[in-house]
């Protein structure tokens, strides 16, 4: 038998090394995903049979007022939470990059919300918003700003604001960590040169800081958008989608339809509707990662 060439051998070794990971991902991610695509065109329920029904599920969904509201809520929730996280994260990164006392300690403290399990932050915020013993109502009432507890999570309009605030608190440090790394790689003399040229702080920020961290800013914003769009814990544990579906987003809607109403195919269809949007985001992120690897 002809001996394998060196290159061939190397390739064979590579396939052996990656096989366990790839096989696992095919069995536990690709197959379930294809199965989900198939289920979205059937009428499967938990414990029931499945018949092919074409796009019926999607038609039913579009006609469902609660579903339409969930789509809208998801957009509002994602948009404002991501915006808030980018702004707050940017401020955190700029402050941490400035000359401040106790730099390392400050960094650790500011990143604590990101390290805490999401579920714990959700419970903590629920307690902060509580009408009896909750921190916000206590402060507002003891300063005589309000006479009765504010229903942070029980007023339809306020509830959306409340869950967005909780989400921003938890997620901003991720943006900050990413941007801080970018900021630290900007050479100090760029700023010195600009200062000599008479550029003020705002001009320096717009013309030096932003262009230097543009890539990492876009990348971390896109990743955060995916995470926020699919957030479940914060919404589910703070409001459960209520009051009256005012904070129902796609993930809580999917869970409610699938596991409370036991309508699997409808639940899966609801998550599949967002797939094209998510795939576009993921593809952009992947390409950006590949680009930064080449650089």
Partner 1 sequence: MKKIKLSNVLITLLLLLLVIVSLLPVYWTLNTSFKVNSEIYNMKPSLWPKKPTVQSYIDLVVKRNFLPSLWNSFFVSFIVSVGSVAISAFAGYAFARLDFRGKQILSNSVLYSYLMPRSVLFIPLYMLVTTFGLRDNLMGLIVIYPTITIPYATWMLTSYFRTIPLAIEEAAEIDGCGRIRSMIQVVFPLAKPGLAATTIFAFTLCWSEYMYALVIITRSETRTITLALANMVVGDVFAWGPMMAGSIVATIPILLIYMISSKNMVSGLTVGAVK
Assess 98 for contact with partner 1 (CB under 8 A): yes
Assess 91 for contact with partner 1 (CB under 8 A): yes
Residue 129: CB minimum distance to partner 1, A? 10
Give whichever of 76 and 141 is closer to partner 1, judged by the CB atom. 141
Give whichever of 123 and 199 is closer to partner 1, judged by the CB atom. 123
> How far is the C-alpha of 5 from the C-alpha of 209, rounded, in Å?
51
Query: Exposed (0-12), middle (13-18) or buried (19+): which is 52, by Cβ within 10 Å?
Result: exposed
Q: Compute how many other C-beta atoms are within 10 angstroms of the C-beta atom of residue 235.
A: 26
The window from 59-67, 75-83, 155-163, 272-280 that contacts partner 1 (CB under 8 A) reads 272-280
The window from 65-73, 126-134, 154-162, 192-200 that contacts partner 1 (CB under 8 A) reads 126-134
Residues 67-86 that bind partner 1 (CB under 8 A): none
4, 11, 51, 187: which one binds partner 1 (CB under 8 A): 11
- Number of H helices and E strands in the chain, helices first, is 15, 0
Residue 31's SS3 state is: helix
- 160 near 247, Cβ under 8 Å? yes
Assess 276 for contact with partner 1 (CB under 8 A): no
**Lookup: tokens for 180:** 């801080």
User: Which DSSP category does 146 fall into?
Assistant: -
Q: What are phi and psi of 187, to 5 degrees?
A: -65, 140
1, 21, 202, 294: which one binds partner 1 (CB under 8 A): 21
Residue 231: CB minimum distance to partner 1, A? 8
Residues 140-179 that bind partner 1 (CB under 8 A): 141-142, 169, 173-174, 177-178
Assess 277 for contact with partner 1 (CB under 8 A): no
> How far is the C-alpha of 245 from the C-alpha of 67, rounded, in Å?
10
The window from 76-84, 150-158, 191-199, 261-269 that contacts partner 1 (CB under 8 A) reads 261-269
User: Which DSSP category does 3 fall into?
Assistant: P
Give whichever of 129 and 245 is closer to partner 1, judged by the CB atom. 129
Number of chain residues interacting with partner 1 (CB under 8 A): 101
């Amino acid at each position: 038998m002809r001996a394998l060439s060196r290159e061939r051998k190397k390739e064979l070794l590579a396939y052996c090394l990656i096989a366990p990971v790839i096989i696992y991902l095919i069995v536990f991610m690709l197959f379930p995903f294809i199965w989900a695509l198939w289920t979205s065109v059937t009428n499967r329920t938990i414990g029931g049979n499945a018949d092919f029904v074409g796009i019926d599920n999607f038609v039913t969904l579009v006609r469902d007022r609660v579903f339409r509201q969930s789509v809208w809520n998801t957009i509002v929730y994602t948009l404002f939470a991501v915006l808030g996280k980018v702004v707050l994260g940017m401020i955190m990164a700029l402050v941490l990059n400035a000359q401040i006392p106790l730099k390392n300690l400050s960094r650790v403290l500011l990143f604590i919300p990101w390290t805490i399990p999401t579920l714990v932050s959700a419970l903590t915020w629920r307690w902060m918003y509580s009408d009896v013993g909750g921190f916000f109502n206590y402060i507002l009432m003891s300063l005589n700003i309000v006479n009765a507890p504010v229903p942070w999570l029980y007023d339809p309009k306020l509830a959306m604001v409340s869950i967005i605030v909780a989400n921003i608190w938890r997620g901003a440090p991720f943006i900050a960590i990413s941007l801080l790394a970018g900021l630290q790689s900007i050479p100090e003399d760029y700023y010195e040169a600009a200062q000599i040229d008479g550029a003020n702080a705002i001009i320096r920020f717009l013309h030096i800081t932003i262009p230097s961290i543009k890539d990492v800013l876009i990348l971390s914003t896109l990743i955060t958008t995916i995470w926020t769009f699919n957030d479940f814990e914060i919404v589910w544990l703070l409001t459960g989608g209520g009051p009256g579906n005012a904070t129902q987003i796609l993930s809580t809607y999917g869970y409610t339809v699938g596991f409370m109403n036991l309508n699997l195919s409808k639940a899966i269809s609801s998550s599949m509707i967002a797939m094209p949007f998510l795939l576009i985001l993921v593809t952009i992120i992947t390409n950006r990662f590949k680009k930064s690897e080449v650089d």
